[in-house]
Amino acid sequence: MGIRSLPRNLTALVCALVLASCGSSESTQEGVPARNLIIVALDTLRPDRLGCYGAERDTSPVLDDFARRSFLFKGAQSVAPWTAPSMISLMTSLYPDVHQVTGFPEPGRLGERVDTLAELLERQGFSTAAFTEGGYAKGAFGLDQGFQLYPTHKGDDTSNTSNITADSRLSSNFDRFLPWLEEQGDENRFFAFFQTYEVHSPMRAPEPFIQEFVPGYDQASEHTAITAAITQWNESRALDESAARLMQRHLVHCDVNALGKIEDRAAFMARAQELGAPLSHSAVAADSDLLSWAQAIYDAEIRYTDSQLLRLFDALEANGQAEDTVVFIVSDHGEGMGDHGLLGHGAVLHSELLDVVYLLHVPQRALEPRTFDFPARLIDVLPTALELLDVDPGDAHFQGRSLVPLLHGEDLPPAPSFSHAVSKGAPRHSVRQDPWRLIIDDQTGEARLYNLALDPLELQDVSTENPETVEQLSTLIADQARLDTALRARIGAELGESLIDEDTLRDLERLGYTGTDEED
């Protein structure tokens, strides 16, 4: 039983026992609450690339098995298309305009008067620990509030994925996490947060995983050729078309500076442009062959990450914790894979970036796992977790809501989902209220409207044809802005200072957040 093998038919006696109320809301009807909580955040993971969400490629056998024994939410939404505001909203159940950790590239630090999930659970005697991989998931931006353990380790600032030039952060992160998990035993109540950048670019899964999706791929030969091209440029300022195209292909795969520093980089970029191989993500998105390559290595990253997750599920079973631990597996945002002519993430408020993975495993409960076509939100994770754990939030303020009634088959009307982007380009807000998504440019007031039922890829702006809908949804965004402002004042959510040190700056540069090439 447990994470990997849950019972599907419980006796009538057990079903009766679990109808007792859990907590003050009496909506969980689960009797004994779960003891522990694990949230796994898989950075930059698009749900539509997983088998359990309909992908054709075999990218996620472990997650697919987990999903069959869990609640899966289709259409789940993030609050932002990049990590810092998304993760803070996950941990506070507040929209970015309330917690204010939104600036790019310096998002600031979450104010101490804002309650986090870790703080709420620590006050109830939970052991709390977070295992992240740096970047915008570092504790410096406020994610560390309430965690008794939030380690950073040598290597976190020099690599973010695995290839022959750097060790895998994902594997070493599990190496740190799993011993802590074992130490908790089966009696201590705990909350663990695990985050990985493995799927984030540069996408460098171990070679065998790339070969599953790119047969015949030879990483050593490719790196040798790139190193030679860099050396030739540095020595003679010569760059031919084949080398430029290889460098272009390499953009989303591995930081070329890891294979050798490019001298006079501006001239190098200009020469590649002259050769018809501009070194930009938009150029990769516009080339069908390069885009197919990017999609393949993205899927390879998913397959590698998926294989590592089995370590967690096996550990929970071995430790005797599987029967008492609620597990959320979510992503913080998606990734542009040629959608709207873009690669990467950070600015646009379309489905490819706002749709997120949302899986919830509730052990030892008389609840039949099922799939919901329901727009759950990342801000709903915190209140849902508290209800499953039977933890009173006290006077903490949330903007999300518990989804536990849905798990019991009760009706829960969908709520609008609001998102905010400021990382690149003009600040924008959006609202999704099915079947519509409205995106508003904060500076110009330009509004774009999409009918998700008829146009799931959001390619056709239908704002002109639907002025009443634009007005209604614009009013929703304006009303939410007023609510956010009032709640921010009520909480006293003053933004703290988070100085980005040199190590963090280098880390963010490797993740593509601070460079001159476009991310989107």
Q: Which amino acid, residue 228? A: A
- As a whole number, mean pLDDT of residues 244-248 equals 92
Whether the pLDDT of residue 230 is over 50: the answer is yes
Reported confidence tier of residue 22, pLDDT bands at 50, 70, 90: very low
Token reading at 77: 């939404």
Model confidence pLDDT, tens digit, residues 23-35 = 333 333 345 688 9
Pick from 115, 126, 123: nearest CA to 34: 126
| pLDDT tens track for 447-463 | 999 999 999 999 999 99
Distance in angstroms (rounded) separating the CA atoms of residues 435 and 15: 37
Q: Angle, to 10 degrees, between the axis of helix 288-318 and the axis of helix 169-183? A: 20
pLDDT bucket at 21, cuts 50 / 70 / 90? very low
Nearest alpha-carbon partner for 367 in 9, 2, 5? 9
Element (H, E) at 99: helix 96-99
pLDDT tens string 309-360: 999 999 999 999 999 999 999 999 999 999 998 888 887 899 999 999 999 9
Predicted pLDDT of residue 161? 43
The average confidence (pLDDT) of the chain is 87
Query: Encoding tokens for residue 514?
Result: 């601070």
Record the tokens describing residue 350, joined without a space: 């379309």
Map tokens 């790196």 to a residue: 223
pLDDT for position 291: 96
Note the pLDDT of residue 482.
Answer: 95
User: 195-205 burial string, b = 16+ CB within 10 Å, else e?
Assistant: bbbbbbbbbbb
What confidence score (pLDDT) does residue 154 get?
A: 63
- pLDDT of the residue at 259: 73
Please write the tens of the pLDDT for every residue from 86-124. 999 999 999 999 999 998 888 889 999 999 999 999 999
pLDDT at residue 153, rounded to an integer:
65
What pLDDT score does 236 carry? Answer: 96
| Confidence at residue 6, expressed as pLDDT on a 0 to 100 scale | 37
Most confident of 19-23, 200-204, 501-505: 200-204
User: Confidence band (pLDDT; 50, 70, 90) for 152?
Assistant: confident
